[in-house]
Amino acid sequence: MKDLSQLNRPFPIGRVLFGVVTFIALVTIGRQIVGYLPGFATWVNSLGSWGPIIFMAGYIGATVVFVPGSVLTLAAGAIFGLVKGAVIVFVSATVGATIAFLIARYVARQIIENRLKGNHRFAAVDNAIGKDGLKIVLLLRLSPLFPFNLLNYALGLTSVRFTDYVVASVGMLPGTFLYIYYGKIAGSVASLVGGAPFQGTAYYVSLFLGLAATIAVTTLVTRTARRALQQATGS
């Protein structure tokens, strides 16, 4: 099993310090803006055609600064609906995750290495990535072994090719669609409570049946991916 210390590369001290400061600043900013997410979603909903663009920019930024994307993903389902919301979130999450990956690989490598040092689970994953990067990253996306935002940075330390990392982002789709579905239902219920016209019993029954089916499929995919990941990493 490859030790994390083998990932180290010689960096000029100035670059190391810049990376440390950058990483700390990102985490600090992320913690400060979490409380503004509901207000941001409400504001986006009032922007009309500019809403999706502003929302995507906010989602990308939130991903980079370690803000949990669940609240924004739920909001996307409520604001944009199932298909449009899923596309917006998937594209935004992929771009944000890619930026985080590049920051870890070329800017803030040292501090992330220190944070993951001694993590045997990540060491096993890194070892497996050296053999089949695309497959392992895809399985990690399907069955999150690490928090999403941390995983984006952690994978920047591995030997996975950039193109494989980006392609494996499709593994985020099942979880993304599940949260979008939750958001869609929450938005529909909120609209109904707020006085919106009743759209018929069949509509709401189909909506909840769709959610049940989505949960079942997502659970099956996640469990299958987890077993495959355990076999691949020997952990």
Q: How far, in Å, are 53, 179, 198, 204, 211 from residue 192 at the CA level?
A: 27, 20, 7, 11, 18
Residue 129 has pLDDT above 90, yes or no: no
- What pLDDT does 18 receive? 47
What is the chain's length? 235
pLDDT digits (tens, 9 = 90+) for 148-206: 888 898 898 888 899 999 999 999 999 899 889 888 887 766 655 555 556 667 766 77
- What pLDDT does 99 receive? 95
Identify the residue whose tokens are 């769709």. Answer: 210
DSSP string, 42-92: HHHHTSGGGHHHHHHHHHHHHHHTT--SHHHHHHHHHHH-HHHHHHHHHHH
- What pLDDT does 12 receive? 53
Average pLDDT over the chain, rounded to whole? 77
> Quick one: how far is CA 12 from the chain centroid?
31
Angle at 52 between CA 101 and CA 214, to 5 degrees: 75
Give me the amino acid identity at 215. I
- What pLDDT does 59 receive? 92
Identify the residue whose tokens are 């999150």. Answer: 144
End-to-end CA distance of the chain: 11
The single-letter DSSP state of residue 224 is H
Give me the amino acid identity at 186. A
Residue 88 has pLDDT above 80, yes or no: yes
- What pLDDT does 131 receive? 78
pLDDT (mean) for 205-224: 82
Which residue blocks in the chain are alpha helix, DSSP H? 13-33, 37-45, 51-64, 70-80, 82-106, 109-116, 120-129, 133-142, 148-154, 162-167, 173-193, 201-233
Q: What is the pTM of this model?
A: 0.75
- What pLDDT does 68 receive? 79
pLDDT digits (tens, 9 = 90+) for 143-153: 877 788 888 98
Instruction: Determine the Cα–Cα distance for residues 52 and 21; give it in Å rounded to an integer.
Output: 32
- What pLDDT does 235 receive? 63
- What pLDDT does 8 receive? 46
pLDDT digits (tens, 9 = 90+) for 60-75: 988 988 887 788 888 8
Instruction: Determine the Cα–Cα distance for residues 18 and 48; give it in Å rounded to an integer.
Output: 39
